[in-house]
Amino acid sequence: MPLPKAELHLHIEGTLEPELAFALAARNSVLLPYRDTEELRRAYLFDDLRSFLDLYYALMAVLVTEDDFAELADAYLTRAAAQGVRHAEIFFDPQAHTERGVPIGTVIEGLARALDASEERHGISTRLIMCFLRDLSAESAMETLEAAKPHLHRITAVGLDSAEVGNPPSKFREVYAAAGALGLRKVAHAGEEGPASYVREALDILGVERIDHGLRCMEDGELVARLVRERVPLTLCPLSNLRLRVIATLEEHPLARMMDAGLLCTVNSDDPAYFGGYVGDTFHAVREALGLGEERLRELARNSFTASFLDDDEERRAKLIAEVDAYDFGVRRPE
Ligand code: ADE
Ligand code: ZN
Angle, helices 314-325/294-306, rounded to nearest 10 degrees: 180
pLDDT at 110 > cutoff 60: yes
Which of the four pLDDT bands, split at 50, 70 and 90, describes residue 330?
Answer: confident
Distance CA(119)–CA(279), nearest Å, equals: 18
3-state secondary structure (DSSP) of residue 87? strand
Q: What is the model's pLDDT at position 333?
A: 59
Q: How many angstroms separate the alpha carbon of residue 33 from the centre of ligand 2?
A: 25
Is the CB of 270 within 6 Å of ligand 1? yes
pLDDT at 332 > cutoff 60: no
List 71, 192, 193, 335, catalytic entry:
192
CB-proximal residues (5 Å) to ion ligand 2: 270
Is the CB of 192 within 6 Å of ligand 1? yes
Smallest-distance ligand from the CA of 191: 1
Q: How many angstroms separate the alpha carbon of residue 321 from the centre of ligand 1?
A: 28
Q: How many angstroms separate the alpha carbon of residue 139 from the centre of ligand 1?
A: 21
> What is the pairing mode between strands 125-133 and 233-236?
unpaired
pLDDT at 334 > cutoff 60: no
Is the CB of 216 within 6 Å of ligand 1? no
Is the CB of 189 within 6 Å of ligand 1? yes
Q: With pLDDT > 70 as the criterion, what percentage of the chain qualifies?
A: 99
Distance CA(173)–CA(205), nearest Å, equals: 6
pLDDT at 81 > cutoff 60: yes
Nearest to 278 by CA among 240, 245, 305, 307: 240
Which of the four pLDDT bands, split at 50, 70 and 90, describes residue 266?
Answer: very high
Distance CA(127)–CA(90), nearest Å, equals: 6
3-state secondary structure (DSSP) of residue 326? coil
Domains and CATH numbers, the chain: 5-324 (3.20.20.140)
Q: Where would I find the H helices in the chain?
A: 18-27, 37-42, 49-59, 66-82, 94-98, 104-116, 118-122, 138-148, 173-181, 196-204, 221-229, 238-243, 255-260, 272-275, 279-290, 294-306, 314-325
Contacts of 133 (CB under 8 A, 6+ apart): 93, 95, 96, 140, 141, 161, 162
- Pair 131, 156: CB distance under 8 Å: no
Element (H, E) at 230: none
- Pair 253, 286: CB distance under 8 Å: yes
- First-to-last CA distance in the chain? 9
- Pair 241, 251: CB distance under 8 Å: no
**Closest C-alpha to ligand 1, atom 10:** 162
Q: What is the model's pLDDT at position 150?
A: 98
Mean pLDDT over 283-302 rounds to: 97
pLDDT at 335 > cutoff 70: no
The yes-or-no answer on residue 143 being catalytic is no
Mean pLDDT over 93-104 rounds to: 98
Task: Supply the mean pLDDT for the chain.
Answer: 97
Is the CB of 133 within 6 Å of ligand 1? no
Q: What is the model's pLDDT at position 51?
A: 96
Mean pLDDT over 229-252 rounds to: 98
